[in-house]
Amino acid sequence: EFGDRKAKAEKMFRLMDGFLKNDSISLQKDILDHVEFTVARSRFNFDDFEAYQALAHSVRDRLIERWHDTHLHFKKKDPKRIYFLSLEFLMGRSLTNSVINLGIQDQYADALTQLGFDFEVLAEQEGDAALGNGGLARLAACQMDSLATLDYPAWGYGLRYQYGLFRQIIVDGFQHEQPDFWLNFGNPWEIERVHVSYPVKFYGTIEEEVLNGKKCKIWIPGESVEAVAYDNPIPGYGTRNAINLRLWAAKPSDQYDMESYTTGDYINAIVNRQKAETISNVLYPDDRSYQGKELRLKQQYFFVSASLQDIIRRFKDLHSNFDEFPDKVALQINDTHPSISIAEVMRVLVDEENLDWSKAWGIACSIFSVTIHAVQPEGLEKIPVDLLGSVLPRHLEIIYEINHRLMEELKKSFGQDYDRLSRMSIVEEGAVKSIRMANLSLACCHTVNGVSRVHLETLKTRVFKDFYELWPQKFQCKTNGVTQRRWIVVSNPSLCSIISKWLGTEAWIRNIDLIAGLREYAKDPDLHTEWKNMKRVNKMRLAEYIETLTSVKVSLDAMFDVQIKRIHAYKRQLLNILGIIHRYDCIKNMDESDKRRVVPRVCIIGGKAAPGYEVAKKIIKLCHAVADKVNNDPDVGDLLKVVFIPDYNVSVAELVIPGSDLSQHLSTAGHEASGTGCMKFLMNGCLLLATADGSAVEIAEEIGAANMFLFGAKVDEVPALREKGTTLKGSLQFARVVRMVRDGYFGFKDYFKSLCDTVEDGGDFYLLGYDFARYLEAQAAADRAFVDQVKWTQMSILSTAGSGKFSSDRTIEEYAQQSWGIEPCKCPF
């Protein structure tokens, strides 16, 4: 019967004229068809946004075509698959990335020109998909691109939030948050799968039953919510493979409603059903700490439960014996946020599939691996026992059982060392008894990954020391990477052409190691000319953007000095601003001849503060207060401009990074797990001014410390410096600039007082005072280097040339080989 259907399908396929055509004429027809039949506008009258919609749908058709072929191929080959579970994916825009990865950018550009449109203008119509906070979420997006490009049989699973990360607007220099209702104008990149849906259960009670002479626990849930799949195709570059990012949305379930209908309260029944949807409503905008909120726990379990039902259904399509599960399934959890999946796998295997405990635990331990993105023990998630017991009563029992067995095992290794046992326990006793999700993950996962070498050391020696001593083989370093497709090919086309021209090939887009070939030409004057032109054009674009947004005019001859990332005390944007104040103060005290020697700077800062994070919000306000004063001071002119770019997001980064000369990464050593922004700047030939923290240490190894500006206390010095506490005096210069803020030189004296307190009087936890003098020296070194444009350009070329290690392709290869045990599965063209 199957053969019969296949023959019919092949006949139909021939009638359809094979694959979708990608020549300019076919694309024009296709876009116009979408204008008429998808957007429902006249072919003769549609605006830029409607043209974008039609264009996006035309691209979507091509994505779906490859995505179908890929999934048929995966199904046929049935390889071991990697399932990447993450509560956040920060995808940004899709259009340009898609046409580039599909290899049909020129054809589309041409087709649009014929229709009287400009591809780039239409691309600007697209909004950002911002279903994530920052580093962790953008990393997940880069890794999806690499998984597709490297032909791995991978699935991403996450949540389809109705509201992404808030939009930041600035009113009088203060941050305000506005909802990001990103689905308002439709989302052409997703496919709604009304038939792919699973019930997810919450609350209720546990009952004991005897089944076949065996005592069993039965969970009688109190609420059921339906999870509906939305599929987002992720195309690989230079391959036919397109993988799937499946995001779940919550919809009311029909299951428990009959009762309310029969009681006659029809209206209330409907209103209550609607409440189910709140689960996937909104992304939590805080990337600092876990707060033990019920909705957050429900979000975690909701997407985990639906994903596992989907994964197990796919497994059972072809297999009946769970012994084979670890040969077919690898589960990666992105930080501990999805770690309730460990208890869920146990529940399904033991309660539903009737496996005995140790067999089920053996399976769980061989499928899970975790990556930790936090540094501070406070950043690790804890769920209050009362909360977990109410929302997921059976999971709490399972976690207790896992912990009981863990404690028995630990006693065998460590005897009666109760301090150690209590530190390693999954259950934390104390005022609020809680479940430590990190300890649960460590107990189960076969691999625990750090995101840079320094970070892994911190995990081994501090955060998870006890676990490391017990299971050293679990701990691995997978230094982060970013995708060169988005961060060079999409965002910096001029650089992309230069690289391809000088290497004589485009192969570096799939094989980044080749980029090292640029080193050979680092002193070539012709390359220097092209390189400088490229930078200038990108700076021009950025300058226009700055002027449109902030009305500040900036000089293209100035050094564009950039710090863009989430605002955090440990990332020390305050150090940057205090440095700017120092620079301003120096200029104010100069005579005209001194001023001629000043290297002009445009200091650009951007980033969002979590809505409840007071210190971070004050930093944003201080930035604006300083900008107001400096930018309007005739003594300063073009020597110094200060700009805060509002609403920093992925597309803003795509514009800013290629146009910057210098970028700053100032975290107090030991606090940034990795940092991935620095890698994007590095690829774009932007010099780094950084502390020896996270991935910057490895970047220095790759490009040579002489090609960047490193400064500040080292990771192993920090604890001793903190010990010294109050006796540690910052420099006079530091005291002076803080005093200026305190005295109200920039206004808002009372408002900034508590911010100043965080860095003075022995407070200074992040050692701004201690590092200030050396920060200024590093800045001075950057000024000197900038004056020598030949030297600067050479350093810039060497930065790009040395960025190969920081491609997410390398990261993903390491995961595939060292953690997941998966092989590529390439769909034939």
Min dist. Cβ of residue 674 to ligand 475 (A): 4
- Per CB under 6 A, 674 contacts ligand 475: yes
CA distance 348 to 305: 10
Q: Is 395 a catalytic residue?
A: no
Min dist. Cβ of residue 283 to ligand 475 (A): 9
Task: Please name the helix (run of DSSP H) or strand (run of DSSP E) that holds residue 690, with its range, or none.
Answer: strand 687-691
Beta bridge partners of residue 538, listed in sequence order: none
Q: Of the listed 347, 680, 793, 800, which one is catalytic? A: 680
Q: CB-wise, 373 or 621, nearer to ligand 475?
A: 373
Nearest to 454 by CA among 698, 680, 681, 690: 698
- Per CB under 6 A, 676 contacts ligand 475: yes
* Contact assessment for residue 691 and residue 571, using Cβ atoms and an 8 Å cutoff: no
Q: CB-wise, 50 or 287, nearer to ligand 475?
A: 287
CA distance 760 to 472: 40
Min dist. Cβ of residue 286 to ligand 475 (A): 6
Q: CB-wise, 480 or 691, nearer to ligand 475?
A: 480
- Per CB under 6 A, 135 contacts ligand 475: yes
Min dist. Cβ of residue 343 to ligand 475 (A): 20
Min dist. Cβ of residue 213 to ligand 475 (A): 46
The site for ligand 475, by CB under 6 A, has a size of 16
Q: Is 373 a catalytic residue?
A: yes
Q: CB-wise, 236 or 675, nearer to ligand 475?
A: 675
Task: Please name the helix (run of DSSP H) or strand (run of DSSP E) that holds residue 60, with its range, or none.
Answer: helix 48-77
Beta bridge partners of residue 232, listed in sequence order: 245
Among 134, 338, 659, 802, binds ligand 475 (CB under 6 A): 134
Query: Is 456 in a helix, a strand, or coil?
Result: helix
CA distance 668 to 778: 15
- Per CB under 6 A, 458 contacts ligand 475: no
User: Which long-range contacts (C-beta less than 8 Å, at least 24 apart) are formed by 513-519?
Assistant: 513/804, 514/804, 515/484, 515/800, 515/801, 515/803, 515/804, 516/801, 516/802, 516/804, 517/801, 518/797, 518/800, 518/801, 519/797, 519/798, 519/801, 519/802
Site for ligand 475 in 282-341 (CB under 6 A): 287
Q: Is 273 a catalytic residue?
A: no
CA distance 351 to 346: 8
Q: Which residue's Cβ has the minimum distance to ligand 475?
A: 135
Nearest to 761 by CA among 741, 786, 735: 735
Q: Is 460 a catalytic residue?
A: no
Q: Of the listed 60, 565, 582, 665, which one is catalytic? A: 565
Q: CB-wise, 59 or 139, nearer to ligand 475?
A: 139
Of 12-20, 129-137, 419-427, 756-764: span binding ligand 475 (CB under 6 A): 129-137
Q: CB-wise, 310 or 381, nearer to ligand 475?
A: 381
Task: For residue 555, report the phi and psi dihedrals to the nearest 5 degrees.
Answer: -90, 135
Q: Of the listed 571, 572, 582, 805, which one is catalytic? A: 571
Min dist. Cβ of residue 410 to ligand 475 (A): 28
**Where do we find the tokens 């086309």?**
493
CA distance 810 to 483: 10
Of 195-203, 654-662, 667-675, 731-739: span binding ligand 475 (CB under 6 A): 667-675
Q: Of the listed 460, 566, 572, 665, which one is catalytic? A: 566
Min dist. Cβ of residue 664 to ligand 475 (A): 15
Site for ligand 475 in 687-716 (CB under 6 A): 694
Q: Within 276-392, where are the H helices?
A: 294-318, 325-328, 340-347, 357-367, 385-391
- Per CB under 6 A, 673 contacts ligand 475: yes
Among 105, 133, 197, 307, binds ligand 475 (CB under 6 A): 133
Whole-angstrom Cα Rg for the chain? 28
Min dist. Cβ of residue 378 to ligand 475 (A): 11
Of 134-142, 360-368, 743-751, 789-797: span binding ligand 475 (CB under 6 A): 134-142
Q: Is 566 a catalytic residue?
A: yes
- Per CB under 6 A, 373 contacts ligand 475: yes
- Per CB under 6 A, 136 contacts ligand 475: yes
Q: Of the listed 70, 239, 676, 691, which one is catalytic? A: 676
Site for ligand 475 in 494-523 (CB under 6 A): none
Min dist. Cβ of residue 337 to ligand 475 (A): 7
Of 25-33, 666-674, 748-756, 781-789: span binding ligand 475 (CB under 6 A): 666-674
419 vs 414, 460, 728, CA distance in Å? 10, 18, 33
CA 724 to chain centre: 36
Q: Enter the tokens of residue 555.
A: 């000089």
Among 374, 392, 587, 785, binds ligand 475 (CB under 6 A): 374
Of 389-397, 403-411, 668-676, 739-747: span binding ligand 475 (CB under 6 A): 668-676
CA distance 598 to 591: 11
Of 132-140, 222-230, 261-269, 652-660: span binding ligand 475 (CB under 6 A): 132-140
Among 363, 396, 451, 740, binds ligand 475 (CB under 6 A): 451
- Per CB under 6 A, 668 contacts ligand 475: no
CA distance 636 to 644: 18
Q: Is 565 a catalytic residue?
A: yes
Min dist. Cβ of residue 381 to ligand 475 (A): 8
Site for ligand 475 in 465-484 (CB under 6 A): 480
**Where do we find the tokens 């999971």?**
395
Nearest to 154 by CA among 805, 829, 814, 816: 816
CA distance 494 to 185: 32
CA distance 190 to 728: 55
Bridge-based pairing state of the strands 427-428 and 434-436: antiparallel
Among 126, 561, 672, 783, binds ligand 475 (CB under 6 A): 672
Q: What number of other Cβ atoms are within 10 A of residue 823's Cβ? A: 14
Among 27, 32, 111, 139, binds ligand 475 (CB under 6 A): 139
CA distance 99 to 551: 34
* Contact assessment for residue 736 and residue 588, using Cβ atoms and an 8 Å cutoff: no
Q: CB-wise, 550 or 563, nearer to ligand 475?
A: 563
Min dist. Cβ of residue 186 to ligand 475 (A): 27
Residues in CB range of 79: below 8 A, 6 or more apart: 153, 822, 823, 825
- Per CB under 6 A, 141 contacts ligand 475: no
Residues in CB range of 454: below 8 A, 6 or more apart: 670, 693, 694, 697, 715
Of 556-564, 588-596, 636-644, 671-679: span binding ligand 475 (CB under 6 A): 671-679
- Return residues touching ligand 475 (CB under 6 A): 133-136, 139, 287, 373-374, 451, 480, 672-676, 694
Residues forming the active site: 373, 565-566, 571, 676, 680
